[in-house]
Structure 1
């Protein structure tokens, strides 16, 4: 959640952020009102509590009618204190509910608007041309014996699949290459839980407004995560970190689950939009002052991975209205998909500033000696199952074979994938 001090001191900045996101700015005033009531109730509560303690001493020393009068006044005072405590608690609960409705304050320079209002920052590589009619990734995957959608649907329903033979090997090779790069850059590899508690899912900011996108095991009060970001965000919950030697960086490998609610009819063919996939995700804890620079580093590492699979791509600065609640800024890398004639997202990296850490109680010692303060968290994709789409389509040959990118060959043990 956002810093309440920022909201008090610069509410116009928060209102502007809400407008840029296309969300209700009136919630800012509602939060300020609840905060004022809470603070007023607490101030009066503390005053009367002090008077109550003082009167207790007077009662102990008084006698006769004076004592009786003091006792009567003490009872009345106790009722007032109890009422003020209830008022403060109610205002606190209302404040907590309202402030969670406000997304992270977007960074200066983030494009205003919705999904189609992004800014293209960079385009890398040339779109391939073919002297034959290119096949889409599913046709190629079936020819290679790499993807089986029909049996996936038979076993689990629509948007599920099997990766078979070289398909399974290709995904493992891709993810292992991602882990190797992450380790080379100083990340600690992690195999993360894919079921998390409600407080962790909420703390990471994933069920404020889009809980319908997430699978939930109601009997156990556990949620299936759509990214290892969630588990990694909770890894240091309620801890004080030592960041004096630089950021803490983790690379989480996990299965990911998404309900894809509201996507009926979209990307129903192949493995672009599915309910289950694998991903290697970078996650960083750093000081607030270092977050913007760390965001650029994460983007750089994503681009390094994309260069290894030798596909054309572009980098976009995502518009405010298309940011998730926790993100103050997000860069996406989108690879060219030949048979669709457009770029599709392969990676995403977000600077969540202190939004997640405030909810999860992740802090550091203030370098200025002012107690503790929230840290910044950032995340970024290094590889997912969807990358196979770009690899198969961009590196296909006329006979249905696929040339394996050079950097991937040591992990796969093959130079060419040939039709079964």
Structure 2
């Protein structure tokens, strides 16, 4: 186990309990069968049957108890298995959240000859963001995007989808509510269940990323991967409880309970994952370059990978008011971890079913990207520069102006 990766206690104990329960159940079932044959007159003397019948009833109750014990033991073992994380790639740096390694930086960090304002001050002046009414309607960490803010959301979504389609992705509008099997299969329950909103009445979960729905879309299927990876670009609203983030990013739309996102998702052969991972990362970088945002690429340490990833790259963009880089997108190689849980396979050259591999990458987390755009491209007079790639979806305007 790599340094920083969480250990999962109880798996061996659960397996021993399950084996013992199965052995006990099998023995009791065999004894009950013998007793029932005696009671039915197939063996023994007629005068023995009443006593034998009573013994058979008692054994039946014991078998039922053993079956319940086996079900409980199977459930405990399954729960222990679900807590096991993916195997960490050898190249991943050891450590935790503070031990990510910067691989490269791109773009020039801007300087300003005026006091910089944060995205909320800018957004309110533009009539683009309304946090106060978002809180009034839905509570903390909710917001309204209005006027140019709403148009920026649509522009970013269309830019992301159009670029993904040009790169060969199939666009998908994914459901934001999924069944427990999809959440479990992708590794978002267990360690991450504190982050998840659950609809108890319907036994459904609100997704924190369309990765969950996109992975579950091909559960229990055999995919044709003979022509290469199958790629989807999924749009959905995303919901996160942000448990444990009390006091962090309480101002603005950087860390919120709801946002929209365009997510890339790939199914491929296991031997193709490393190359596919780098392709997803390259598409993310090209997107941020088109938005004229300075950023850095970091290799996430083992202890911060989460459950399903064997390796993960984050792209952190520059936020002027914080004087640092903050995560804007990420991409994860999950190898066969999710596909094995969801029973997603492909056929090899001999026609035999094999477990597929999955990868995901955020092309655009829209709320956080809007926050970064407003801060990086702000002007002294309160206007905000509009990158050229966004102008076709914003009526051709070169800047957003207050009032």
Shorter-chain TM-score tier: 0.7 to 0.9
What is the CA–CA distance in structure 2 between the aligned matches of 1:298 and 1:106, rounded to whole Å? Answer: 19
Give CA-to-partner distance per residue, 1:241-289, whole Å, 9 cap, x none. Answer: 1111111111111111111122121111111111111100001111111
1:400 is displaced (CA, Å) by: 0.8
The residue matched to 1:126 in structure 2 has which SS? coil
Once superposed, what is the RMSD of the aligned Cα atoms? 3.2
What is the CA–CA distance in structure 1 between the aligned matches of 2:379 and 2:91, rounded to whole Å? Answer: 42
2:355 aligns with: 374
1:358 aligns with: 340
In 1, are the aligned partners of 2:82 and 2:184 still within 8 Å (CA)? no
The residue matched to 1:377 in structure 2 has which SS? strand
Give CA-to-partner distance per residue, 1:69-106, whole Å, 9 cap, x none. Answer: xxx9xx89x97998886676554333211111111111
Match of 2:311 among 305, 319, 329: 329
1:315 is displaced (CA, Å) by: 0.4
What is the CA–CA distance in structure 2 between the aligned matches of 1:218 and 1:357, rounded to whole Å? Answer: 26
1:31 aligns with: 11
The residue matched to 1:334 in structure 2 has which SS? strand
Match of 1:305 among 280, 283, 287: 287
Which runs of structure 2 are paired with 1:18-417 in the superposition (5 Å)?
19-21=3-5, 23-24=6-7, 27=9, 30-32=10-12, 34-35=14-15, 89-370=71-352, 372-384=353-365, 385-412=367-394, 413-417=396-400
What is the CA–CA distance in structure 2 between the aligned matches of 1:386 and 1:322, rounded to whole Å? Answer: 21
1:214 is displaced (CA, Å) by: 1.5
1:205 is displaced (CA, Å) by: 1.4
Evaluate the alpha carbon distance shift between residue 123 and residue 46 of structure 1 in structure 2; reply closer, same or farther with a 3 A threshold. Answer: same
1:47 is displaced (CA, Å) by: 11
What is the CA–CA distance in structure 2 between the aligned matches of 1:37 and 1:213, rounded to whole Å? Answer: 31
In 1, are the aligned partners of 2:131 and 2:144 still within 8 Å (CA)? yes
1:36 is displaced (CA, Å) by: 6.0
Evaluate the alpha carbon distance shift between residue 221 and residue 126 of structure 1 in structure 2; reply closer, same or farther with a 3 A threshold. Answer: same
2:39 aligns with: none
TM-score normalised by L of structure 1: 0.84
What is the CA–CA distance in structure 2 between the aligned matches of 1:352 and 1:224, rounded to whole Å? Answer: 21
The residue matched to 2:393 in structure 1 has which SS? helix
What is the CA–CA distance in structure 1 between the aligned matches of 2:275 and 2:283, rounded to whole Å? Answer: 13
* 1:419 and 2:402 are equivalent in the alignment: yes
TM-score normalised by L of structure 2: 0.88
What is the CA–CA distance in structure 2 between the aligned matches of 1:94 and 1:31, rounded to whole Å? Answer: 8
Evaluate the alpha carbon distance shift between residue 85 and residue 365 of structure 1 in structure 2; reply closer, same or farther with a 3 A threshold. Answer: farther
1:411 is displaced (CA, Å) by: 2.3
Evaluate the alpha carbon distance shift between residue 81 and residue 220 of structure 1 in structure 2; reply closer, same or farther with a 3 A threshold. Answer: closer
Evaluate the alpha carbon distance shift between residue 285 and residue 132 of structure 1 in structure 2; reply closer, same or farther with a 3 A threshold. Answer: same
1:215 is displaced (CA, Å) by: 1.5
